[in-house]
Amino acid sequence: MELFAFVDALADDRDALVARSREVLRGLGRDDDYLTLHLPFASRSPLANVQSSLPSGLETLQKTAVLEIHSPKARNALSGKMMAELADIVTLLEDPDVHDKLNAVVVRGTGGWFCAGADLRVAQQELTSREAGAAMGALMVDTLTRFRRLPLVSIACIEGGAYGGGAELATACDFRILEANAVIQFVQVRMGVSPAWGGGARLYKIVGRQHALRLLCTAEKLSAQRALELKLADFTFDAATDGADAAICSFVTPFDAIAPAVSHGAKRVINRADDVSLDAVLSYEHDVFKSLWGGPANLEALEGALKKTKNERCCLDPPSRSVHQTSGLLVSGMLALINLFSNTKWAAWPV
């Protein structure tokens, strides 16, 4: 609680709240959890986790960056430290000196997993208060919104699973390619909360009202094939025959071949058309999450989940709750979010 005592004082200053949250969350992590940004060229970035070469198997890509998530003990769940690093990397990619040499950015996890959301061990120890949840949500909504608005085509390569916040991270990308056995699951309702990182608004815009409401309220586990049918996935591949690297190269190469100025222009047009009035929706989604984080249903779910993760693993199968067992407040919050998305008038985006 004391770590996040600044939250209420900065509630009316969004930029200051995000900046302070980034620095406080930076201290919540371990030595073996980090992000790495691979660039296909030398960079003057002061960030220690920026490499000037692409991972083995992707060297043929010339204008594509690769962002790798590394947290082997937690199936690539994001600690506070990793959330701060993600914000740092997005800031770097916003620099024209960097993105003017790029067309695309691929987000992937290491070790055969994409991302299992927030690291529950850190969440239980440090992030169970309302103020802490507000700080985490504010930073991640800001970071993923900035990431989505980059002039770069973004691709999530999902192996293993994208759970909770990991599913929200995937929705921040323009495209999602899934290994045939991978799954996507919005488990937030089982954890007694609503989407925290803007994923509810983005999911609605990808799959529509009915599918979004069902996925958020029931925590349905989506196979790669089902995600493809819902248009939540754009491409699937068989790891045994193709491999993730080959799939990435196959999907990304057409984007990689374009002149950066041309692809940037196309992405900016889509951003302008797609993001109209989104800020109001994201702000409301964050308010709903804050009202649930640290509440009885959330704390009960966290306690139950962490009892199942004694072997240094994050929550992959949260406590089972059907929609009938879910808190009425929680379901009402989900429905209110979907109603707001449906009723939003997509007017011109302010310049």
Does 311 fall in a domain?
A: yes
Pick the more confident residue, 350 or 36: 36
338's tokens = 């979907």
Q: Quote the mean pLDDT of the chain.
A: 89
Average pLDDT score over residue span 191-217: 95
Q: Which one is predicted more confidently, 296 or 212?
A: 212
What is the rounded average pLDDT of the residues 11-30? 96
Domain contains 349: no
Q: Which DSSP string corresponds to 236-301?
A: EE-TTTT-HHHHHHHHHHHHHTS-HHHHHHHHHHHHHHH-TTHHHHHHHHHHHHHHHTTSHHHHHH
The answer to whether residue 241 sits within a structural domain is yes
How far apart CA 218 and CA 72 sit, in angstroms, is 28
309 pLDDT band (50/70/90 cuts)?
Answer: low
Alpha-carbon distance of 26 to 238, in angstroms, equals 36
Inside any domain, residue 119: yes
Give the pLDDT band of residue 347 (cuts 50, 70, 90): very low
Poorest-pLDDT segment among 22-26, 227-231, 292-296: 292-296
Q: Give the three-state DSSP class for 232.
A: coil
Please state, in angstroms and as integers, the Cα–Cα distance from residue 269 to each residue in 266, 274, 282, following that order: 5, 9, 21
Token pair in block for residue 48: 């220690």
Tens digit of each residue's pLDDT (9 = 90 or more) over 296-306: 878 888 788 77
Range of the domain at 157: 2-342
Domain count, the chain: 1
Residue 113 counted as domain residue: yes
The pLDDT tens digits for 75-128 are 999 999 999 999 999 999 999 999 999 999 999 999 999 999 999 787 677 788
Contacts of 189 by beta carbon, 8 Å cutoff, 6+ apart: 216, 217, 218, 219, 321, 323, 326, 330, 331, 334
320 vs 130 pLDDT, higher one: 130
Single pTM value for the model: 0.84
Flag whether 324 is in a domain: yes
348 located within any domain: no
- With 0-12 CB in 10 A as exposed, 13-18 as middle and 19+ as buried, what is 119? buried
The answer to the question of residue 63 being in a domain is: yes
Interval 149-159: pLDDT, tens: 999 999 999 99
- Separation of alpha carbons 196 and 101, rounded Å: 32
What CATH number does the domain containing 243 carry? 3.90.226.10
Helix (H, G, I), strand (E, B), or coil: what is residue 125? helix
